[in-house]
Each structure stands twice: as C-alpha cells, then as structure tokens.
Homo-oligomer: A and B are copies of this chain.
C-alpha cells in the first residue's frame, strides 16, 4: 500500500475551519487507499505568542526551556488534527516528536535530526491509523525536548518520508506550486509541473520561499520525491525530483532577493592576501558572502565589492573597520540593491542565456552592478528601485506571454 507523508504549515491549521479542511485532505488521501503520515506545525501565531510570553519574563531565556515552551505549540495542533480526522470517521493518533522517534543532537533551538526510530510509527501505521506527527521537534540524548528551528517542519516531513521510505512527501503551502516567478507580482508567471532538486535549491535560496532549503537538501540526499501544492485548491502542484521528465527548459524561474547589501572597499593595495584576510574575517563570524567582484582601480590599487545579507551588513562593516590593512581606506555600504536571478538546469548547455537576460535589462535601461554565475543560475545585482521592473522584463524574455 502506498505511503504518503503530508506536511501542513501553521497557517493551514490556524483555526478550527482550517483544521477541518486539512482533515478533509488527509482523510481523502487515506480513503483513496494510502497509508498517511501527517506532519503539522503549530497553529498560526502560537509560536510567536509563546515567544512573547517568554520575552515578558526574560531577555535571555535558557534555550532548553525555550524548546520545552515552543514544542507545546505542535502538541496542540497535532491533537486537534487527530480529533478532526476521527470526527470524519478515520482513526487517527497524534505523536509528539519523541513519540515518533525523532532523535536529535542537543543544540536546543537549532537541533539536527540524528535518526528516527520508526517502531511506534510502524505500529500505528500497521493498525491503520492516520498518524499525525509534531513537526519541528525531537528529543536529545538527555531526554530533553529539542526544536529544529524555524521552518523545521519541512525537514521533519522529509526526514520521516526518508525513514519510512514513503512513496511521496507532499508539502502543502498557500501557493499552488513553484512558479517561474512570484505570481503575486508577475501576472504571466507559470506553475512548473516538475523541477529538479538543484533548481529548487537555487530558487529557495534566492527567495522563492516555498520550501525550506534544508528539507530540499535532505530530499535530494535521500531521494525523497517532493510535491509542493496548495492546501486550499485541489490541484496538482510541482514535483521536485532528481531528473525531470519534461523537455529541458532553458530557464525554470526568475527570482528577486531584496535582502542583499553591497559592501565596497575602495583603493585596496594590489598585494596578495588582502582578499583572503577580508573574507576569512567574515567567515569566522559566520557571515556569508555571496557575489564578489574585484575590479582594477586607479594608481595600482583595486576595488573589492561583495554582497552580504542586510542583517549582517552592520557587523561586516564593523569587522572591516578593525582590519589594520584597510586603515584609511573608504568602505561603502549600499542596501538599496536587489539580486535578480534566472535559474534552470538547461542553461549550462545554452551559452545564450546570460546575454538574453542582459539584453532584457538593457532594453529597460537597468544598470547591472555585479554578475555571478553558476551551472544552473545567473544572478545580477541592480538598484532595488528597478527590481520589480527587472523581474518582469527578464521573465517576459524567457516566458513570452501567450
């Protein structure tokens, strides 16, 4: 009998009406002849409400206690969903992270799954129960409750699908699948029926925000076939898998990332090792650097520009200020930038993709500040004010309106 893992986020179970809706989807899947394991997040704003309660008491809550506190959120949602499934006539049982066998390390608040002991899960599936599992949580070797960090429920679902060798892992969201661009902004955006893990990873990193990246990496590693689909419409979503059967599309999507900041160091002496010193300093503080550009400056000096996330920009500037080798140099930071990317496994064999993208931007008179390429994506940094216009233009270039 096929086994399907279904995951529903917090907004999908935010109130009684939505819990009933999820129960309908789950029980229909069950009645269609599948074994079903459901992973749910905490209801709507529960997690934020609990964080507020803690903040009223202390600015530095012990992480262990935060995990104890926050994990109550899924405890509430799983038992409610199990009740709703029972009410619809299908036997259902809820399992907390530890009851479902989620063993994690002891990094409270950001724990990693070490293994899933599936005995209890197998027993409940064997009894023909729908099994409703608390996402986002597990238990460490000290018998303490741990949480996987925000977005961790996706990871819970994929890990369960891998451990149970499920036939499919369905991630229900508030969008109908993965689109060639943000459908709220680009009216011509098309839903993709299939996409590869690697393409999905690039899209997720670049801000498509449909799937948590860690979960896609895990799905790729364990060959879990994912489907991203909507809990509100009864339509097929987007399948994420290793190799897609579709004809090779040049480009899968166009994305915008407005979380970038560009930092430039002007007039760096042209001697070896300076770039290394800059970037090792940032790496030591876990500041990710994205696009890097080194240009020839005047008088035997050079300019080094790079992008970091906006939240990290102030710390990066501060670190650069402490570097003796940069004494007296000008360091600028521009947060009014956006990164526009095209993603697609097909482009590695199509050298024309980049020029097609640049042409579309040129036609709109949009200046390109930086460029970065990989096998399956091309990213450009532009001024933020032009970002939406840029996405629309590039999308039109690759996905002409019918």
Listed in ascending order, the chain A residues whose CB lies under 8 Å from chain B are: 16, 19-20, 50, 53-54, 56-58, 60-62, 64-66, 68-69, 71-73, 75-76, 78-80, 82-84, 86-87, 93-94, 96, 99, 120, 143-145
Closest to A93 in B: B64
Cβ–Cβ contact A50 & B65, under 8 A:
no
Query: How many protomers of this protein does the assembly include?
Result: 2
Cβ–Cβ contact B62 & A69, under 8 A:
no
CB distance from A252 to the nearest CB of B (A): 40
A93–B63 alpha-carbon span in the complex (Å): 11
Cβ–Cβ contact B69 & A72, under 8 A:
no
CB distance from A13 to the nearest CB of B (A): 11
Cβ–Cβ contact A54 & B83, under 8 A:
yes
Residues of B within 8 A of A19 (CB): 57
Residues of B within 8 A of A84 (CB): 57-58
Residues of B within 8 A of A50 (CB): 76
CB distance from A35 to the nearest CB of B (A): 20
Cβ–Cβ contact B57 & A20, under 8 A:
yes
Q: Which secondary structure dominates where chain A touches chain B?
A: helix
Cβ–Cβ contact A80 & B57, under 8 A:
yes
Within 8 Å by CB of A16, from B53, B69, B75, B120, lies B53
Q: Given known contacts A50-B76, A64-B93, what 20 new A-B pairs fall within 8 Å (CB)? A: A16-B53, A16-B56, A53-B76, A57-B80, A58-B86, A62-B86, A65-B79, A65-B83, A65-B94, A66-B79, A68-B75, A68-B79, A68-B94, A68-B96, A69-B75, A69-B76, A69-B79, A69-B80, A72-B76, A96-B145
Closest to A56 in B: B16
A73, A83, A93, A143 — most chain B CB neighbours (10 Å): A83
Cβ–Cβ contact A54 & B68, under 8 A:
no
Cβ–Cβ contact A68 & B57, under 8 A:
no
Closest to A76 in B: B72
Cβ–Cβ contact A83 & B58, under 8 A:
yes
A145–B79 alpha-carbon span in the complex (Å): 11
Cβ–Cβ contact B94 & A80, under 8 A:
no
The 27 listed contacts between A and B (C-beta, < 8 Å) are A16-B53, A16-B56, A53-B80, A54-B79, A54-B80, A57-B80, A57-B83, A57-B87, A58-B87, A61-B83, A61-B86, A62-B86, A65-B79, A65-B83, A65-B86, A65-B93, A65-B94, A66-B79, A68-B78, A68-B94, A69-B75, A69-B79, A69-B83, A72-B72, A72-B73, A72-B75, A75-B75
Closest to A73 in B: B72
A187–B210 alpha-carbon span in the complex (Å): 66
Within 8 Å by CB of A99, from B53, B56, B143, lies B143
Residues of B within 8 A of A143 (CB): 99, 120
Residues of B within 8 A of A60 (CB): 87
A259–B65 alpha-carbon span in the complex (Å): 42
A93–B82 alpha-carbon span in the complex (Å): 30
Cβ–Cβ contact A71 & B65, under 8 A:
no
CB distance from A116 to the nearest CB of B (A): 15
A80–B58 alpha-carbon span in the complex (Å): 9
A56–B18 alpha-carbon span in the complex (Å): 12
Residues of B within 8 A of A79 (CB): 54, 65-66, 68-69, 72
A334–B69 alpha-carbon span in the complex (Å): 49
Closest to A91 in B: B62
Residues of B within 8 A of A56 (CB): 16
CB distance from A19 to the nearest CB of B (A): 6
Closest to A143 in B: B99
Residues of B within 8 A of A53 (CB): 16, 76, 80
A34–B153 alpha-carbon span in the complex (Å): 42
A78–B61 alpha-carbon span in the complex (Å): 13
Residues of B within 8 A of A120 (CB): 143
